[in-house]
Amino acid sequence: MSSADLAPKPEGILDTELDAESLRHRLAETWKTQSGLFGVLSSVDHKVIARRYLITALVFLCLGGLSAVAMRVQLSGPERGLIGPDLYNQLFTMHGVTMMFLFAVPIVQAVGLYLVPLMVGTRNTAFPRLSAFSYWIYLSGGVFVWVSFFLNMGPDIGWFAYVPLSGPEFAPGKRADVWAQMITYTEVSSLAVAVATIVTILKQRAPGMSLDRIPLFVWAMLVTSFVVVFAMPSVMIASSFLILDRLVGTHIFNPAEGGDALIFQHLFWFFGHPEVYIIFLPATGMVSAMVPAFAGRPIFGYLALVLSLIAVGILSFGLWVHHMFATGLPKLGASFFTASSMLIAIPNGVQIFCWLATLWSGGPLRLKTPLLFVFGFFFIFVAGGLTGVMLASVPLDLQVHDTYFVVAHFHYVLIGGSVFPLLGATYYWFPKLTGRMMSERLGRWHFWLAFIGFNAAFFPMHIVGLWGMPRRVYTYPVELGWGGINLFITAGALVFFFSFVLFVINLVWSSRHGETASENPWNAGTLEWATSSPPASYNFARIPVVTHSEPLWAERKALPVAAGLRVDAREVLISTVAEAKPDLREKSARPSIWPLFAALSVGGTFLGSIFTPWAVVWGAPPIAISLIGWFWPKGAPEDEE
């Protein structure tokens, strides 16, 4: 369609007809989330859903953190009897599963869900009901796995759940089924968010936001979402095959019947390695958003950074075998994966160098809490990236694989590379979400305790790993002399945990008593800072027109706006993929309770399928009914065409 089709249509009230005051009033009426329980449960506002995601993920972070503390107390000395192997194995599995599937992936996707529509200047995500559905699925999956844990049915096979240990013969009971179905729940939800994010970014950008003006965080979310779409199905296949082996008696992973145990590892890590980048890439986007704001200049090397993001996204699918060097693969093939694993360090290096260049050549640095966390990120992540280079070497990996060295490495990468930017991002975007600043004083305490606690807890793990301590052991003998260093690690872990207590206190206190924030408290350049803090339900009263990659710096007087959208019905502006020319007006979904019902029936089916394959059959009618309700035509003109 050409822009000629945008010519005013007769029906409805257009924003061109209203003054600023009544425009805001009408938009608020059209886009608001209804009050009452029903309204709350049927909300499709991306900000409301994202906030739920963020709070839920924070709860799971606390649970995952507590399970880590329990493990650290058990390991604080040799042959401690505080926690037996049965509980310990559940704890480390729950820790991994919670942190990876219930905290890290959902929280970065939630930040994206909140910020992407604001950053690209639109009123809602492309598939609002799908986003609502994904939250309910995520919530039910998380509740399901933790309730199972408290019923002593928590998975105890590690977050990777290798067969045959997780297979029917060696994992009787329902614990492994809980793992397999939990994967299915959370993957469905993250695929749903990924699809909505991709379409929002490709089709709903404000006029003028051509590909070279997309904020880097949005680029990062785009690449991440594509990685999700290609990686997640692999682990869903693995977990579904596993549940078939366990429940229906197939022998896909049973070598005695011609199956193959190793194929599970290939499927798992073909997802598992990109998973690391699913967690890490959005964090790089956050860094790319914070660094220019605090350096007071546009990012150095925008194009190089975009290409690095894409390169990392693609290369992340080519290194899964470095998790399997000890399985006895052919040596030449393994060496190929050494080379590819080394190769991914180059785009990551490019990113680091570009950020440092931005910080070097900007104005005076404002060392606020978000920037402190960015510096913490450099300190920790660079170290983690370098130990990653060590692990890429096949022979070297044979000594450190499955030892505490690897535990140290991936906590340096994941906490340093993702959690530190995420914490910085929380301080940075909190005023946008709540209209209040977070306490800078508590923030500084939080940073220093987290920084010191983290390094005290995880640096010594490199050493104890080289001394020969394997992962996933619930205790170790006195004679090996690992007691002292483990006690030190536990002390560091407690400091690190305490820093998060301060963080939660800061969040709660600041959301009530924090200093009131302006629209753009950091004087940043991207569109999310053009709306009120917190944003109104419709995000922007008039859709901004973008003339620069840092629109608020380029248009310091007033942002140009586009007009012509209806205000009495939910409409968003659809633009072209490359140049973001306005293309057509599109209805945006109204609130609906059906995503909740759909999630409940899908969730019930997953849950029931642990006990009988017939659950899939009995679950189908409720799913069909809720989908029919969800997609029931509303009588809008386009529906009738």
Partner 1 sequence: MRPPTGRIAGAVLLAFILSGCSGVQSALDPKGPAAVELARLIWFFTVLCAIVWVLVMGTIAAILLRRRQRRSDPLRIDQPEERMVSRVVISAVGATAFVLVALTLLSFFANRTLAGIGENAGLTIRVTGHQWWWEVRYENAEPSRILTTANEIHIPAGEAVRFVLQSDDVIHSFWVPALHGKLDLIPGMVNTLTLRADKPGIYRGQCAEFCGAQHAHMATLVIAEPRAEFDAWYAEQLKPAAEPSSDEQRAGHDAFLNGPCVMCHRIQGTPAGAVTGPDLTHIGGRQTLAAGTLKMTRGNLAAWIADPQGIKPGSKMPVMDLDGDELNAIVAYLESLK
CB atoms within 10 A of CB 514: 19
Q: Are 208 and 578 in contact (CB under 8 A)?
A: no
Near partner 1 by CB under 8 A: residue from 445, 459, 498, 509: 459
The amino acid that residue 320 corresponds to is W
**Interface with partner 1, residue 485, by CB under 8 A:** yes
165: contact with partner 1 by CB under 8 A: yes
Q: Is 617 in the site for partner 1 (CB under 8 A)?
A: no
* Residue 392 binds partner 1, judged by CB under 8 A: yes
Say if strands 582-587 and 561-562 run parallel, antiparallel, or are unpaired. unpaired
Q: Which two tokens stand for residue 435?
A: 């209209």
Site string for partner 1, 419-458 (x = CB under 8 A): --------------------------------xx--xx--
CB of 467 to partner 1, least distance (A): 5
Taking the alpha carbons at both ends of the chain, their separation in whole angstroms is 16
Residue 269 Cβ vs partner 1, minimum distance, rounded to whole Å = 14
**Is the CB of residue 63 less than 8 Å from the CB of residue 98?**
yes
- Nearest approach in angstroms of CB 301 to partner 1 is 7
DSSP-derived secondary structure letter, 4 = G
466 counts as binding partner 1 under rule CB under 8 A: yes
Cβ 575 vs Cβ 566: under 8 Å: no
Chain residues 348-387 in contact with partner 1, contact rule CB under 8 A: 349-350, 352-354, 356-357, 359-365, 375, 378-379, 382-383, 386-387
CB proximity list for 254: less than 8 A, separation 6 or greater:
164, 167, 245, 261
116 contacts 429 by C-beta, under 8 angstroms: no
Span of 78-86, 190-198, 199-207, 530-538 interacting with partner 1 by CB under 8 A? 78-86
Question: Does 151 sit near partner 1 (CB under 8 A)?
Answer: no
User: Looking up tokens 């872990």, which residue turns up?
Assistant: 493
Work out whether 328 is an interface residue with partner 1 (CB under 8 A).
yes
Nearer residue to partner 1 within complex by CB, 32 or 251:
251
Site for partner 1 in 86-105 (CB under 8 A): 86, 89
The distance of closest approach from Cβ of residue 101 to partner 1 in the complex, given in angstroms and rounded to an integer, is 18
Question: Kind and range of the H or E element at 250?
Answer: none
Burial status of residue 187 (CB atoms within 10 A of its CB: 0-12, 13-18, 19 or more): buried
* 3-state DSSP helix/strand/coil % of the chain, to nearest 5: 70, 5, 30
Selected binder of partner 1 within 9, 25, 39, 85 (CB under 8 A): 85
What three-state secondary structure class fits 584?
Answer: strand
Instruction: Return the residues of window 486-525 that contact partner 1 according to CB under 8 A.
Output: 488, 523, 525
Residues present in the chain in total: 641
What amino acid is encoded at 140 in this protein?
S
With respect to partner 1, which residue has the nearer C-beta, 452 or 593?
452
d(CA 597, CA 587): 23
Select 61 or 354, whichever has its Cβ closest to partner 1: 354
399 binding partner 1? (CB under 8 A): yes
Pick out residues in 261-300 that bind partner 1 (CB under 8 A).
Answer: 261-262, 292, 296-298, 300
Q: Write out the binding residues for partner 1, residues 1-30 only, by CB under 8 A.
A: none
* Contact residue for partner 1 among 307, 473, 504, 563 (CB under 8 A): 473
Taking the least distance from each CB to partner 1, the nearer of 357 and 593 is 357
- Beta carbon of residue 296, minimum distance to partner 1 (angstroms, whole number): 5
330 near partner 1, judged by CB under 8 A: no
Question: 442-475: buried (b, 16+ CB within 10 Å) or exposed (e) per residue?
Answer: bbebbbebbbebbbbbbbbbbebbeeebeeeebb
The stretch near partner 1 (CB under 8 A) out of 44-52, 60-68, 388-396, 412-420 is: 388-396
SS3 letters for 522-533? CCCCCHHHHCCC
Contact assessment for residue 425 and residue 286, using Cβ atoms and an 8 Å cutoff: yes
Using CB under 8 A, which of 395, 504, 618, 634 touches partner 1?
Answer: 395
3 state SS of 313: helix
Region 186-245 residues binding partner 1, contact defined as CB under 8 A: none
Work out whether 401 is an interface residue with partner 1 (CB under 8 A): yes
**Residue 256 binding partner 1, by CB under 8 A:** yes
Which positions from 528 through 567 interact with partner 1, judged by CB under 8 A? 548, 550, 553-554
Nearer to partner 1, 89 or 537 (CB): 89
